[in-house]
DNA sequence: ATGAGTGTAATAGATAACTATAACACTAGG
DNA sequence: CCTAGTGTTATAGTTATCTATTACACTCAT
């Protein structure tokens, strides 16, 4: 996995776990890959994986069973809130940034639409290459 | 200034300088505050300011005149490109993130519109408090 | 009981970022 | 010439992150 060296790896691993859960790759209640296995897959140290998981366990996103493994929570409320929270946080961050660059609300929406249209054409083009 | 401890301060200072320029607070050709002054304003060390400025100078965004000061470039092309580049990079980042969270293009646009509407109401409410 | 597979934790060393401090280089005005 | 104001650089010490390694704690099948 490619990490952005501007932000701590353990922090990016947390985001990675969120994505696996929200996209359904790791279903509620299912067991995660072993920490040593995750460390190999992410080409990272076990301690770094553990640091990320520790915070997710504290947040009840994951359930840790010593000697057995780590599991995705089955608490539907937690999972539903998580997905919405991640999206809202992301939107809030980009909104603040673009406002700080002097864009109006309408310009932000238009810029996003234009970006997606352009991006769609590019992806299609790349696909046909 | 409040910094996010998840990303290097010198990197955030670069973003700060971009904002000052793009929002017109620092006009093309004008002199920046002295590095020691900036360090005080940002409550940061001179070396950290200098590290940020060094990269901006290398990118020709700023012009350094030893013994005189640092100045915003007057190259209109550079400035126009810069503003557009920052917006596009920001949009690209949030787009990738939201796609990774399984949102469709249309859902991204809708979520952004909804967020801005909600945010607008909240700001208005806060303002009247 | 033993061993394989799991999570958890501690140590020591490396590196990057940041700080405080000092020094050096250049410009302009008196 | 000298001084104040500017950018630039270097050193040393601190902290956070990450790594490698080792050890410990628990579960389960045999």
Whole-complex ipTM? 0.90
Whether B102 sits inside 8 A of A6 (CB atoms) is: no
* Same domain? B81 vs B97: yes
CA of A52 to C1' of D24 (A): 21
CB A105 within 8 A of CB B120: yes
Q: Tell me, what's the pLDDT at A120?
A: 80
On the question of pLDDT at A101 being above 70, the answer is yes
Residue A107 is part of which domain span? 77-128
Whether B108 sits inside 8 A of A112 (CB atoms) is: yes
Query: How many angstroms separate the CA atoms of A82 and A77, rounded?
Result: 8
Q: Which two tokens stand for residue B49?
A: 């300011």
* Same domain? A56 vs A84: no
Q: Tell me, what's the pLDDT at B71?
A: 98
Q: What is the mean pLDDT of chain B?
A: 95
Q: What is the mean pLDDT of residues B8-30?
A: 97
pLDDT band at A124 (very low <50, low <70, confident <90, very high): confident
Whether A101 sits inside 8 A of B11 (CB atoms) is: no
Q: Tell me, what's the pLDDT at A25?
A: 97
> How many residues are there in chain A?
129
CA of A45 to C1' of D21 (A): 11
Judging contacts by C-beta atoms under 8 Å, the chain A residues touching residue B19 are: 100-101
Q: Structural domain tally of chain A?
A: 2
* Same domain? A60 vs A92: no
- Strand D nucleotides, any atom under 7 Å from protein beta carbons: they are 5-11, 16-22, 25-28
Nearest neighbour of A116 by CB, restricted to B93, B95, B119: B95
Residue A1: inside a domain: no
Nucleotide nearest to A54 (CA to C1'): C8
A95 min Cα distance to partner chain B (Å): 8
Beta bridge partners of A72: A62
On the question of pLDDT at A123 being above 90, the answer is no
Q: Which two tokens stand for residue A26?
A: 């790791």
* Same domain? A46 vs A102: no
Q: Tell me, what's the pLDDT at B126?
A: 65
* Same domain? B86 vs B60: no
Q: Tell me, what's the pLDDT at A126?
A: 64
What percent of chain B is modeled with pLDDT above 90?
A: 91
pLDDT band at A97 (very low <50, low <70, confident <90, very high): very high
* Same domain? A35 vs A90: no
* Same domain? B82 vs B110: yes
Whether B98 sits inside 8 A of A112 (CB atoms) is: no
Nucleotide nearest to B37 (CA to C1'): D6
Q: Tell me, what's the pLDDT at A87?
A: 97
pLDDT (tens digit per residue) in A7-66: 999 999 999 999 999 999 999 999 999 999 999 999 999 999 999 999 999 999 999 999
pLDDT (tens digit per residue) in B33-72: 999 999 999 999 999 999 999 999 999 999 999 999 999 9
Residue B40: inside a domain: yes
On the question of pLDDT at B124 being above 80, the answer is no
Q: Tell me, what's the pLDDT at B81?
A: 95
Question: Quick one: three-class SS letters along chain A?
Answer: CCCCCCCCHHHHHHHHHHHHHHCCCCCCCCECCCHHHHHHHCCCCHHHHHHHHHHHHHCCCEEEECCCEEEECCCHHHHHHHHHHHHHHHHHHHHHHHHHCCCCHHHHHHHHHHHHHHHHHHHHHHHHC
Q: Tell me, what's the pLDDT at B123?
A: 75
Domain final residue pick, B32, B53, B74: B74
Residue A4: inside a domain: no
A127 min Cα distance to partner chain B (Å): 17
Output b/e per residue, B13-34; b: 16+ Cβ within 10 A: bbebbbbebbeeebeeeeebbe
Judging contacts by C-beta atoms under 8 Å, the chain B residues touching residue A83 are: 101
* Same domain? B36 vs B50: yes
On the question of pLDDT at A127 being above 80, the answer is no
A67 min Cα distance to partner chain B (Å): 31
What's B31's DSSP letter?
B
Q: End-to-end CA distance of chain B, in Å? A: 25
């Amino acid at each position: 996995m490619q990490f952005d060296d501007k932000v701590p790896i353990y922090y990016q691993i947390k985001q990675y776990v969120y994505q696996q859960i929200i996209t359904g790759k790791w279903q509620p209640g299912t067991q995660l890959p072993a920490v040593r296995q995750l460390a190999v897959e992410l080409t990272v140290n076990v301690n770094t994986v553990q640091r990320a998981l520790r915070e997710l366990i504290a947040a009840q996103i994951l359930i840790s069973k010593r000697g057995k493994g780590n599991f995705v929570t089955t608490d539907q409320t937690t999972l539903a809130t998580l997905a919405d929270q991640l999206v809202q946080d992301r939107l809030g961050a980009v909104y603040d940034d673009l406002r700080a660059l002097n864009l109006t609300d309408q310009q932000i929406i238009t810029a996003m639409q234009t970006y997606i249209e352009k991006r769609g054409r590019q992806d299609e083009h790349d696909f046909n290459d």
